[in-house]
Amino acid sequence: MNLLENPFYILELDTCASRHKIVEVCDEKSLTLDSDMCTRFCATLTHPRNRIDAEISWLPGVASDLVPVILYNVKRNTNETTNLLSRFNPLVRCNAVSTFF
């Protein structure tokens, strides 16, 4: 799963979101997005065994305010992107690189 297919990205959720928040957002998004997809994402993010895949495939350990910065810079693929990614753990770098390069 790449970053742009990740439930956290599509639902615009933080990895610290509560179960209640996840269900609430999934219900809201199902009005504008594919409702079956939202149901799958809700199940993924509310069941620990399924959630781990989404978390590992996301940007683990990155503060929520830095997620848009990473996505913006990686999409642009500038020289600053390498410098930016070097500040994060190897899994974050791997997920970013595998999505955009």
Q: What pLDDT shows up at residue 79?
A: 77
The pair of three-digit structure tokens given for residue 12, joined into one six-digit string? 């615009």
Q: Where are the alpha helices (DSSP H) in the chain?
A: 7-10, 19-29, 35-46, 48-56, 67-76, 79-85, 90-100
Average pLDDT rounded to a whole number, residues 14-26: 96
The answer to whether 74 and 99 are in contact (CB under 8 A) is yes
pLDDT at 76 over 90: no
Average pLDDT rounded to a whole number, residues 76-93: 88
pTM above 0.85, yes or no: yes
pLDDT confidence bin for 9, thresholds 50/70/90: very high
Q: What is the pLDDT of residues 25-66, one digit of tens each?
A: 999 999 999 999 999 999 999 999 999 999 999 999 999 999
Higher pLDDT, 36 or 79: 36
The pair of three-digit structure tokens given for residue 93, joined into one six-digit string? 């770098």
